[in-house]
Amino acid sequence: LLDYPPRLNAAEELLKHEGTAIANGWSYAELAERADAIAGALHIEPGARVLLHSPNTPEAIAAWLGILLAGGIVVATMPLLRAREIDKVVAKARVDKAVVARELAAEVNVKERLILEDLPTQGWFDACDTAADDVAIIAFTSGTTGEPKGCVHFHRDLLACCDTFAARVLDPQPSDVFSGSPPIAFTFGLGASLLFPLRFGAATAPTSPPQLLETLHTQRVTTLFTAPTAYRALLREPLPDSLHTCVSAGEPLPAGVSDAWLEKTGIRIVDGIGSTEMLHIFIASPASEAKAGSCGRPVPGYEARIVDDAMRTLPPGEVGRLAVRGPTGCRYLDDPRQTAYVRDGWNLTGDAFSMDADGYFWFQARTDDMIISAGYNISGFEVEAALLEHPSVKECAVVGVPDEQRGHVVKAWVVPAAPVEVGALQDFVKARIAPYKYPRRVEFLDALPRTPTGKVQRNVLRERG
Ligand code: 3SK
């Protein structure tokens, strides 16, 4: 199944189809011509690292493919990131060049910066003869400390996630139209809006969160990828009858939302768990086999087990650490945290899970300090660092607290140095880091709870809610 030839350029493979590639827009031949034109205009050596900073658009998809055709490595950043966050990625990935959507250009400080909209649209390029295990993308994930970690994936990995999760769980057809709210800079969105539709000769309807509902209707989307928060919001809206497959990831899907969606649309949402480290979803069951509230069984090609701290397998029903392995496993870019994530060849995802007697996996909690809110991974430490720059903040601690709409929200506990409005602190954070990370709840207190050794007791704050 995953026996790829030793020489492989994933972009070339993805473009080998006929028919419509971009819903209501370019054919595969037109997309290939755009991608070729961009590849030619990049003037890069094989292995060059190219930053791609753009919302989900047809042009961004052409650029992503063009970078790979030219033998480059795509380093895509989330469109909402601010300059200081992008700077960290640029430094860590040692980016050589950037391709940037005009509207976001001000945030990108890279010497050689090409504006996406100014790149040529016609041309021909002989795809670079890359190896299947040449690096194709470096996908950044926010670490618990706020220091982004780069996950390296090869050309063959890009096809492997299509040929495992998408092929075995979703059964895509060339007549399908894929769309989703996550940016292609997030590997969940990369699969949804680029890899999966193009691997199976289907069409993609690139969109962004505010336009999602309109896109579903105007492009007659059949296959939707988004996070539980968006599914909950879409429950209130009229939906097109074209939809037949819905995928949720990014945070656990509550059984109530899954059941309400089934009642409204007749579709059981495929709830998956994946990670940037593993590239895409590694546990998920086809809709016909789903159990509401569980993310299903390991995707064919992957293995998963529940382990204790000594990596011993725990029996069904017991809660432990989720360990997974498969064809797309984690390789961090020059990062010592590799050894904490990968043990004995198994990837430890940072989630506590249990497995039932039928082999279905049930999420219990995160085992690290990441806050998962509306599908976004947010480092509390990064939000703390932004808040601490405010002159009226003496001390603060940021935790995730349960929330009906977003699963969890970011809550800041602040010891003020001077009187300050909550709204002023929220705006201050939004101006410094990606706005989705701002603390939706802020509470003031006289002192942070600490252990005798002076460590902030975040668990106490989490329990206070
Ligand atoms: O958060 C997830 O479950 C996920 C799914 C697919 C790809 C990447 C991620 C982080």
Residue 329: band (very low, low, confident or very high) from pLDDT cuts 50, 70, 90 = confident
CA 232 to chain centre: 19
Interval 415-445: pLDDT, tens: 999 999 999 999 999 999 999 999 999 999 9
Tokens 């409204």 identify what position?
264
CA–CA gap between residue 199 and residue 13 (Å, rounded): 7
Q: Is the CB of 274 under 6 A from ligand 1?
A: yes
pLDDT at 331 over 80: yes
User: Which pLDDT value is given to residue 382?
Assistant: 85
* pLDDT for the residue 230: 92
Predicted pLDDT at 48: 98
**Between 6 and 407, where is the model more confident?**
6
* HEC sequence for 102-133: HHHHHHCCCCCEEEHHHCCCCCCCCCCCCECC
- Looking at this predicted complex, what is its ipTM? 0.97
* Ligand 1 neighbour 41 (Cβ under 6 A): no
Q: Which residue has the higher pLDDT, 338 or 73?
A: 73
pTM: 0.89
CA–CA distance, 100 with 283 (Å, rounded to integer) = 34
pLDDT for res 268: 97
Which residues have C-beta within 8 Å of that of residue 233, sequence separation ≥ 6?
A: none
What is the pLDDT, as a whole number, of residue 452? Answer: 66
Q: Mean pLDDT over residues 37-54, rounded? A: 98
Whose Cα sits closest to atom 1 in ligand 1? 250
Give yes or no for residue 245 CB within 6 A of ligand 1.
no
- The rounded distance, in Å, linking the Cα atoms of 115 and 98 is 8
CA of 52 to the centre of ligand 1 (A): 20
The rounded Å distance from CA 153 to ligand 1 centre is 14
| pLDDT for res 454 | 63
Q: Give the tens place of pLDDT for each residue, 166-201.
A: 999 999 999 999 999 999 999 999 999 999 999 999
Tell me which residue has its CA closest to atom 10 in ligand 1: 275
Distance CA 284, CA 301 (A): 12
Give 352-398 pLDDT, tens digit per residue: 899 999 999 998 877 777 788 998 878 887 898 899 889 999 989 99
Region 300-305: what's the mean pLDDT? 98
Range 104-111 average pLDDT = 96
Segment 205-216 shows an average pLDDT of 97
Whether the predicted pLDDT of 465 surpasses 90:
no
User: Is 144 a residue whose pLDDT tops 70?
Assistant: no
Rounded to the nearest integer, the mean pLDDT of the chain is 94
What pLDDT is attached to residue 1?
Answer: 66
pLDDT band at residue 453 under the 50/70/90 scheme: low
281 within ligand 1 shell (Cβ under 6 A): yes
